[in-house]
Amino acid sequence: MDVHVIDHPLAQARLTAMRDARTDSPSFRAALRELTTMLVYEAARSFPVEKYPIQTPVTATEGTRLANPPLLVPVLRAGLGMADAALGLLPESSMGFVGLARDEETFEPRAYMESLPRVLTGLPVLVLDPMLATGGSLEHCCRLLADRGCTDITVLCVLAAPVGIERLERSGLPLRLVTASIDEGLNDRMFIVPGLGDAGDRQFGGM
Ligand code: PRP
């Protein structure tokens, strides 16, 4: 599995704001939006493009556009905070939704919503979720996509734990990962360490 870490000063500064426990919800959401723009920008570097004729004020020339804009799939709740920034850079994209909540005892994901096109053959997908911890949630989400025929999945995360990356690698699913950090590991509550806490709670408040 291809894993790309965005080691850029601006990305790392936004990540630091998100890690800092003193950052309030509005500032956390703003940092997540800005970091998402950078993650999408990096992920899109390898997207295929097509040429088409345009006219500048001076002459005829060739323009460039994405050949196949991806479907965006934020994983609720926390991925919702990445959706608007991703759609801002990819305005031609459609959006699907997957709702998952991690069980606090088994740490396995419980699916509570799924709104996806029935067939995804030939359509690349960008999955948006700030956190890859045990990997259970993203494996579940990516399997839903692969079951619909998707063979080109890019997962965008703010933070990834090594054990979660290994789980996605073992899954054999057709995906690559773009993240701002690979953190040290997980604690006994399966929170990423050093991490940033619970990305859903920090954006939207505790449930
Ligand atoms: C968090 C996070 C991921 C998942 C990561 O969501 O946004 O979806 O946990 O954990 P995993 O890799 O161990 O599966 P959570 O279940 O807390 O739901 P929320 O987004 O509604 O807060």
Distance separating alpha carbons of residues 177 and 138, to the nearest angstrom: 11
Is the C-beta atom of 183 inside 6 A of ligand 1? no
Handedness of CA 137, 139, 140, 144 (dihedral sign): positive
147 counts as catalytic: no
| Contact of 30 with 84, CB cutoff 8 Å | no
103 counts as catalytic: no
64 counts as catalytic: no
183 counts as catalytic: no
> What is the predicted pLDDT for the residue at 207?
66
**Alpha-helical segments (H) within 135-179:** 136-147, 162-171
| Contact of 168 with 155, CB cutoff 8 Å | yes
- Ligand 1 centroid vs 42 CA: distance in angstroms? 23
| Contact of 40 with 126, CB cutoff 8 Å | yes
Eight-class DSSP state of 121: T
Single-letter residue type at 75: V
Q: List CB contacts of 35: < 8 A, sequence separation 6 or more.
A: 11, 14, 15, 18, 158, 180
Secondary structure (3-state) at 144: helix
CA atoms within 13 A on the CB side of 198: 13
Is the C-beta atom of 135 inside 6 A of ligand 1? yes
Neighbouring-strand partners of residue 51: 64
What's the complex ipTM?
0.97
Neighbouring-strand partners of residue 157: 179
For the chain, how big is the Rg over CA atoms in Å? 17
Is the C-beta atom of 75 inside 6 A of ligand 1? yes
Ranges of residues in the chain whose predicted pLDDT is under 70: 207
Neighbouring-strand partners of residue 3: 177
Is the C-beta atom of 95 inside 6 A of ligand 1? no
> What is the predicted pLDDT for the residue at 206?
81
β-pairing verdict for 71-76 and 49-55: unpaired
> What is the predicted pLDDT for the residue at 44?
97
Kind and range of the H or E element at 66? Answer: strand 60-66
